[in-house]
């Protein structure tokens, strides 16, 4: 309601997806549930002199709403995307902190992070429990993103190679590794299909579309001893597992989004 009041007061129009015109495209609130930090991220189609977010910040303060970071992002692309090409920090920093158990993370508006931190704590523990790492294994993590699972894997393996194609996510992953004083992880900015798969253990956490056919074919050829497949799309996961030729040793189903049909699954695969 405060943001609507601000928009009306400054005659700022929202983005019209049909006519492809207007200014404000997205308003995201990112919170560190265990740190109390809060970021407000406003995405506009272009910069406009009416976008005086300092005025919006004062409006928030007048209602005793604490904000750690307020960021304006510019996304001129036609397709809908809550990320931004350019970032302008109005107050605070480009990231805020979150704590999951003993791990500290930096949350960035352009980089995905698991949205339910209460469930994420459980997921991190289950990933380690399922893998039963002895400490000597070399682990390859594909689609490592911001390093959500990377920081947990590092403490149980000899070394970890984290592969991520998004350069923004790579930077945040490296920042999270430094934040947790982790030194046995190498981060590679590359597509999953283009790296060597000769590792003891491979952890997969692909986007909703699942694994590419090229990656499935490489995995079938290399035949790693152990795969851990984390998925937010059970249909894509089931398709990939059937093509990989592995059997499911254990499967955990997680209700990360209560009152929705969406679930998260973690499958331990072995030959």
pLDDT the model gives residue 211: 97
Q: How many domains does the chain have?
A: 2
Q: Which residues contact 19 (CB under 8 A, 6 or more apart)?
A: none
In terms of domains, do 153 and 260 share one?
Answer: yes
- Let me know: does 223 contact 271? Beta carbons within 8 Å: yes
In terms of domains, do 236 and 119 share one?
Answer: yes
Residue 101 falls inside a structural domain: no
In terms of domains, do 144 and 263 share one?
Answer: yes
We report the CATH number of the domain holding residue 258 as 3.40.50.150
**pLDDT of the chain, 271 residues: tens digit per residue:** 899 999 999 999 999 988 889 999 999 999 999 999 999 999 999 999 888 899 999 999 999 999 999 999 999 988 888 999 999 999 999 999 999 999 999 999 999 999 899 999 999 999 999 999 999 999 999 999 999 999 999 999 999 999 999 999 999 999 999 999 999 999 999 999 999 999 989 999 999 999 999 999 999 999 999 999 999 999 999 999 999 999 999 999 999 888 999 999 999 998 8
In terms of domains, do 165 and 266 share one?
Answer: yes
- Let me know: does 146 contact 111? Beta carbons within 8 Å: yes
Residue 24 falls inside a structural domain: yes
We report the CATH number of the domain holding residue 44 as 2.40.50.1070
Residue 103 falls inside a structural domain: no
pLDDT the model gives residue 81: 86
Would you call 232 a catalytic residue per the annotation? yes
In terms of domains, do 141 and 80 share one?
Answer: no
Catalytic residue among 192, 232, 241, 266: 232
Provide the residue range defining the domain that includes 22.
Answer: 2-94
How far is residue 51's CA from residue 143's CA, in Å, rounded to a whole number? 36
Burial of 192-229, coded b for 16+ CB within 10 Å and e otherwise, reads bbebebebbbbbbbbeeebbeeebbebbeeeebebbbb
pLDDT the model gives residue 80: 86
Residue 102 falls inside a structural domain: no
């Amino acid at each position: 309601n405060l943001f609507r009041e601000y928009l009306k007061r400054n005659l700022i129009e929202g983005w019209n997806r049909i006519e492809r015109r207007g200014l404000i495209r997205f308003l995201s609130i990112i919170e560190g549930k265990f740190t109390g930090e809060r970021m407000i991220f406003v995405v506009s189609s272009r910069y406009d002199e009416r976008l005086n977010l300092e005025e919006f910040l004062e409006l928030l303060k007048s209602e005793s709403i604490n904000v750690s970071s307020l960021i304006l992002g510019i996304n001129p692309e036609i397709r809908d995307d809550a990320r931004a090409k350019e970032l302008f920090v109005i107050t605070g920093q480009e990231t805020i902190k979150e704590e999951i158990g003993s791990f500290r993370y930096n949350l960035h508006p352009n980089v995905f992070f698991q949205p339910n931190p209460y469930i994420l704590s459980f997921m991190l523990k289950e990933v380690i429990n399922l893998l039963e790492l002895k400490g000597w294994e070399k682990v390859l993590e594909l689609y490592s993103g911001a390093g959500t699972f990377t920081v947990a894997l590092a403490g149980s393996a000899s070394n970890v190679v984290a592969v991520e194609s998004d350069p923004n996510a790579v930077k945040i992953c490296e920042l999270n590794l430094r934040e947790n004083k982790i030194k046995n992880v190498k981060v590679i900015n590359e597509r999953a299909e283009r790296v060597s798969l000769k590792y003891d253990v491979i952890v997969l956490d692909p986007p909703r579309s699942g694994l590419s056919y090229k990656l499935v074919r490489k995995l079938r050829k290399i035949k790693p001893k152990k795969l851990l497949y984390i998925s937010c799309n059970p249909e894509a996961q089931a398709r990939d597992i059937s093509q990989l030729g592995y059997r499911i040793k254990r499967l955990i189903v997680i209700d990360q989004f209560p009152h929705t049909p969406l679930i998260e699954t973690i499958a331990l695969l072995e030959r």
